């Protein structure tokens, strides 16, 4: 009998990561999703399901808004109710959102084994909610699917050596599967030419919830020598409205893009500016230089390879990073784009399951 796997998702990056894995699991397992609802509007949820061929979530909890603690608690209670009724054989969580921690904690308390996709990543900044989520999830998980040797070594430093599997980065799978449909010709409404604009994303609470930092980001964008295409995250848009902040004349503030459109916009850009971990990797996979508006990254290999620069919000550092020569080669980081199949094969092996749960 096929085992049943429940995939817990809640935010846009998790839909992207779930898409290739659900493809790989099809036929080998009964797999379905629980959507906690963290990203719930069309621009951040439904459009990605349509573009990536994702089935509709079997369960939608409608949990969004509120503080981190409130949101996590409501998601935890909602996931637990589903797991108590459905009793899947295992729960799979992705990345580092509140949905990640809620899914892992609900499953662990019910003695349902947890698989963490994107395990072992660290920013080493505990003030980031994502850091707390990823650390706790790793210490709850039975299978830890790491994208790099660095992530494996980090887990070993924390005493986690069993159940760690080097499989690569599942977002490389997504770019391989869906990037071919990403036409680099920019939307004519943006008023830009291919290769002559910057693509920017800003969504982390440390940047959006601090009015001074958000104003500094807008000033930074306004000081750049090219037009900036800036898909505005709903949280960021709300903060801009609350602070009566307007975008500079050279910034095209557009609605959030679907995954394929986002890849296309990055591919056509001269460079990417972001505070997102996922966008750092997408830019790398697409061969576009990236400037990370933070002082740390969960993906230091992209910095070592020369495709990414950490600048914080210092305009001089940002401009210097944008002016640097393009790297000569795009070295192969984070696997071969077949991470989902590697995860499937590990889960198909009964020896990897906790005692008493194997086939």
> 151 near 119, Cβ under 8 Å?
yes
**Residue 203 is a catalytic residue:** yes
96: helix, strand or coil:
coil
**Roughly how many angstroms between the first and final C-alpha of the chain, as a whole number?**
8
CA dist., res. 94 & res. 81, Å (int): 20
> Is 56 exposed, middle or buried, given 0-12, 13-18 or 19+ CB atoms closer than 10 A?
exposed
CA dist., res. 297 & res. 310, Å (int): 8
DSSP code, position 29: B
> Could you give the dihedral angle defined by the CA atoms of residues 304, 272, 166 and 2, in that order, rounded to the nearest 10 degrees?
180
Element (H, E) at 129: helix 129-140
Catalytic residue among 48, 64, 116, 203: 203
CA dist., res. 307 & res. 301, Å (int): 9
> Which residues, including other chains, have CB under 8 Å from residue 265's CB and lie 6 or more apart?
186, 187, 199, 229, 231, 257
Q: In what order do the strands lie in the sheet with 143-146?
A: 59-60, 30-35, 4-9, 90-94, 114-117, 143-146, 164-166
**Strand segments (E) across the chain:** 4-9, 30-35, 59-60, 90-94, 114-117, 143-146, 164-166, 197-201, 227-231, 251-254, 271-274, 290-292, 308-310
Q: Return the ∠ at Cα 180 (arms to 318 and 116), rounded to 5°.
A: 70
CA dist., res. 31 & res. 264, Å (int): 30
What angle, rounded to 10 degrees, do the helices at 277-286 and 170-178 form?
A: 50
Active-site residue numbers? 203
């Amino acid at each position: 009998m096929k085992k049943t796997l429940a995939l817990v998702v809640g935010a846009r990056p998790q839909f992207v990561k779930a898409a290739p894995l659900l493809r790989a699991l099809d036929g080998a397992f009964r797999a379905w999703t629980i959507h906690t609802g963290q990203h719930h509007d069309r621009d951040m949820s439904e459009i990605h399901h349509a573009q990536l061929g994702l089935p509709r979530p079997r369960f939608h909890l409608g949990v969004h808004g509120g503080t981190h603690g409130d949101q996590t608690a409501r998601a935890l209670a909602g996931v637990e109710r589903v797991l108590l009724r459905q009793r899947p054989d295992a729960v799979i969580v992705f990345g580092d959102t509140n949905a990640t921690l809620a899914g892992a904690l609900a499953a662990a308390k019910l003695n349902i084994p947890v698989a963490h996709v994107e395990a072992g990543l660290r920013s080493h900044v505990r003030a980031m909610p994502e850091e707390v989520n990823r650390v706790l999830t790793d210490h709850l998980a039975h299978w830890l699917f790491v994208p790099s040797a660095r992530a494996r070594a980090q887990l070993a430093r924390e005493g986690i050596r069993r159940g760690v599997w080097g499989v690569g980065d599942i977002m490389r799978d997504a770019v391989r599967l869906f990037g071919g449909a990403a036409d680099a010709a920019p939307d004519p409404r943006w008023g830009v030419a291919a290769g002559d604009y910057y693509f920017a994303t800003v969504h982390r609470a440390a940047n959006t919830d601090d009015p001074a930092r958000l104003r500094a980001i807008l000033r930074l964008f306004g000081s750049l020598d090219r037009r900036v295409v800036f898909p505005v995250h709903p949280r960021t848009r709300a903060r801009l409205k609350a602070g009566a902040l307007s975008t500079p004349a050279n910034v095209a503030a557009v609605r959030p893009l679907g995954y394929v459109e986002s890849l296309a916009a990055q591919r056509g850009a001269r460079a990417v500016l972001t505070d997102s971990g996922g966008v750092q990797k997408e830019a790398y996979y697409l061969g576009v230089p990236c400037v990370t508006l933070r002082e740390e990254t969960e993906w230091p290999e992209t910095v070592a390879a020369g495709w990414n620069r950490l600048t914080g919000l210092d305009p001089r550092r940002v401009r210097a990073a944008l002016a640097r020569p393009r790297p000569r080669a795009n070295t192969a980081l984070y696997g071969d784009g077949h991470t989902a199949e590697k995860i499937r094969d590990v889960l198909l092996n009964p020896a990897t399951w906790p005692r008493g749960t194997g086939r």
